[in-house]
Amino acid sequence: MSLGYKLEPSDVAWNWKNVAKIVAVCLLAGVLSGSVGLGGSTIKAPFLHHLLSDASVSKATSTFMLLSTVGASTVIFIWLGSMKWQEALSYMAIGLVGGTCGIWVMKEFMRRFRRKSHIVLFLGAYIGCALLVMSILTILKVCTT
């Protein structure tokens, strides 16, 4: 590069084709997130893995996207009175404990098996479980109304 920056293997090769892909996936993620209720970072994480080719970097990036979205949504819900700040703190504590346990489990898997592919497999299982639960809840809601 002209600035002397040495690219990492996980850096995105910025070109118009990749920019178009990113815009398309983000638009799709926004539509699916709004209509189905599945989080945008859940949809974008597999795409980031394809684009970045490093499971650790793609998972960290999607988690940061999730953190910023959830943080903004929580502030809005508290501001509008839809959620009490005490509830938000309890959800945050539960999420912190769950996230810490998840990090420990993933580190243990990577230490034992010396592979990062488990990150992608767990992400796929998470997406599958989320789709199953959302489908069941939707069917129950339709049947009871």
pLDDT attached to residue 86: 94
Residues of the chain with pLDDT under 50: none
Alpha-carbon gap, residue 102 to 133, rounded angstroms: 20
Q: In the chain, count of helices (H) and strands (E)?
A: 5, 0
pLDDT attached to residue 58: 76
pLDDT attached to residue 75: 92
pLDDT attached to residue 78: 94
pLDDT attached to residue 101: 92
* pLDDT tens track for 78-116: 999 999 999 999 999 998 999 899 889 888 888 888 877
One-letter amino acid identity for 134?
Answer: M
3-state secondary structure of 114: coil
Alpha-carbon gap, residue 4 to 89, rounded angstroms: 45
Closest of 20, 26, 18 to residue 43, by C-alpha: 26
pLDDT attached to residue 108: 87
Closest of 51, 90, 48 to residue 65, by C-alpha: 48
Both tokens of residue 126? 């998470």
